[in-house]
Amino acid sequence: MASLQTALIRMLMRRLKLFDSSDIDVIKVRDRADRFGGRIPVHRKVSVSRVEADGVPSEWLLPPDAPEDRALLYLHGGAWILGSTELYRSFVSRLAFLAQTKALVINYRLAPEHPFPAGLEDCLTAFHFLTASGIRPENIVVAGDSAGGNLTLALLVALRDRGSPLPGAAAVISPATDLTGSGLSYQSRAEVDPLFGGHETGNVVQWYTGDHEPDHPLISPLFAKLHGLPPILLHVGDHEVLLDDSTRFAERARSFGVDANVVVWPKMFHVFHIFSPLLPEARKANREIADFIRRHQSSEHLH
């Protein structure tokens, strides 16, 4: 049974209609989100350091005694149109502390001003920034939620296609993997999804895809060839329209021989993980992701 806190947050999300693109002022929503994020405290033991990752504005989140030779690259969500280091600083600081790894969070370029492939190119730049700094690719775990989960999976495919070394693993939360919207959960979960259910989101997809088709394999990783990718952990809520984006991706990835594990959280909504200060379910889920990160950065796993 979902907690009382979960029920209260669901009600708030329904009232906000944050991603209803039929009536959205992108600049105002970005500003509101950043101001909200800026008020949430960073984990008290994690320090913040701004950095330019080869031109991509970014932040290091640094837990005490985190190894210098390992890193988490975190790609934030926000439907490709909003989100920032400011909005995600608190959440990723807690995840980094749990995983005992330093984390790089980046401000990739956003749509509609910068449609695909601008954001993905910034993610590639950030990954190469980490490897150029001396961190071995297998010591890097890439993670992201929603649009950032989409970019995480697209990053894996893009690196493989370019013949670049791949990260050691990837963890994604409620990733958008199919921008054609063909999953049955777009209908079956519409009534119970408090964030996207019953809202018009077509404009957001168009803003991101630009002149490209939504089934492009780097826009919708569900349709990419997935051979040769590292282990992937997927978390998704049972009460979200993007449920099938995770379950179908995991099934397809396994058909290509990828170690892909999807965890469906009963009665939970899209990216509930960010509410860890309030939700016991989020704290449990984040511990599971942190364990995955730590396991794939451990010396036993690497050697």
For the annotated catalytic residues, the residue numbers are: 146, 240, 270
Confidence of residue 203 (pLDDT cuts 50, 70, 90): confident
Q: What is the mean pLDDT of residues 69-74?
A: 98
Residue 201 is predicted with a pLDDT of: 61
**Percent over 70 (pLDDT), the chain:** 88
Q: What is the mean pLDDT of residues 238-258?
A: 96
Q: How many CA atoms lie within 13 A of 23 on its CB side?
A: 3
- Please measure the distance between the N-terminal and C-terminal CA atoms of the chain and give it in whole angstroms: 41
DSSP 25-63: -HHHHHHHHHHHHHTSPPPTT-EEEEEEETTEEEEEEE-
> How far apart are the C-alpha atoms of 70 and 301, rounded to whole Å?
13
> How far apart are the C-alpha atoms of 68 and 139, rounded to whole Å?
10
Flag the least confident range among 6-20, 216-230, 262-276. 6-20
Q: Tokens standing for 268?
A: 């939970």
Fold of 4-302: Rossmann fold (3.40.50)
Q: Tokens standing for 209?
A: 């895809």
Q: Tokens standing for 146?
A: 């929603």
Q: What is the mean pLDDT of residues 148-161?
A: 98
Residue 4 is predicted with a pLDDT of: 65
Q: Are 211 and 149 in contact (CB under 8 A)?
A: no
Q: Are 56 and 129 in contact (CB under 8 A)?
A: yes
pLDDT tens-place string over residues 79-138: 999 999 999 999 999 999 999 999 999 999 999 999 999 999 999 999 999 999 999 999
Those residues whose C-beta lies under 8 Å from the C-beta of residue 107, and which sit 6 or more positions away, are 56, 57, 58, 84, 85
> How far apart are the C-alpha atoms of 285 and 211, rounded to whole Å?
37
Confidence of residue 303 (pLDDT cuts 50, 70, 90): very low
Confidence of residue 23 (pLDDT cuts 50, 70, 90): low
pLDDT beyond 80 at 200: no
Confidence of residue 187 (pLDDT cuts 50, 70, 90): confident
DSSP 228-248: T---EEEEEETTSTTHHHHHH
Confidence of residue 195 (pLDDT cuts 50, 70, 90): confident
Q: What is the mean pLDDT of residues 251-268?
A: 97
> How far apart are the C-alpha atoms of 117 and 111, rounded to whole Å?
10
pLDDT beyond 90 at 9: no
> How far apart are the C-alpha atoms of 79 and 199, rounded to whole Å?
13
pLDDT beyond 80 at 5: no
> How far apart are the C-alpha atoms of 101 and 294, rounded to whole Å?
8
> How far apart are the C-alpha atoms of 196 and 57, rounded to whole Å?
29
Residue in 143, 150, 135, 151 with CA at minimum distance from that of residue 96: 143
Kindly list the domain boundaries of the chain, sorted by start residue. Answer: 4-302
